[in-house]
Amino acid sequence: MPAEDDPVSQVRVLPATSADAGELLTLQRATFLTEAQVYGDLSIPPLLESLEQCVARLAQGPVWKAVAGSRIVGSVQLGIDGSVGRIGRLMVAPDWQRQGIATKLLQVAEKTAPAEVTAYELSTGAESERNLQLYRNAGYREIKREQQTDKVELVLLAKRRRTKR
């Protein structure tokens, strides 16, 4: 855990590149292992992704990394599907959670979406109460549920993009 009084103010959010793939994959495994343990299911897609798949995913759309010093402590991806910004792989290192980094990353993903994006969608596990609360606090509302694996039910959430007046 960082020693500063306000560690989030020390975190910089920068574009991720393919050179970050190894560190992002390590972060992803650490972050999603905690989630998988909640469900007793180690077969969730983020835990099965290979380095090659991670590199390919990084090339598909903007990925942002949260950096503290020289360490990547969080990340988020924004995929564009017509007028919908699909937010994915929002993750924060276990020892940096509950400090506002996920909120900061979510805001960057939303604010950097192209102008044609009029809504955002994301998903999380139905038993991931902290994640669900984060998304509700950010204005997301549940639109449907679906089974991801035998043990994991996903909740799809969405919100409209606010337009500047």
pLDDT digits 0-9 by tens, 51-75: 999 999 999 889 999 999 999 999 9
Task: List the CATH number of the domain containing 35.
Answer: 3.40.630.30
Q: Is the residue at 4 inside a domain?
A: no
Residue 34: per-residue pLDDT: 86
Asked, for residue 74, whether it belongs to a domain, the answer is yes
Domain that holds residue 112: 9-160
DSSP strand pairing (63-68 vs 12-15): antiparallel
Confirm whether 3 is domain-assigned: no
> Is 165 within the bounds of a domain?
no
Please give the residue that has the higher pLDDT: either 121 or 42: 121
How many domains does the chain fold into? 1
Q: What percent of the chain clears pLDDT 90, i.e. is strictly above it?
A: 76
pLDDT at 5 exceeding the cut of 80 = no
Q: Give the residues across from 158 on adjacent strands.
A: 121, 141
**Exposure string over 114-152, b if 16+ CB within 10 A, otherwise e:** eeebeebbbbbbbebeebbebbeebebeeeeeeebeebb
Residue 115 lies in a domain: yes
- Element (DSSP H or E) covering residue 136: helix 129-137
Provide the token pair at 67.
């950096």
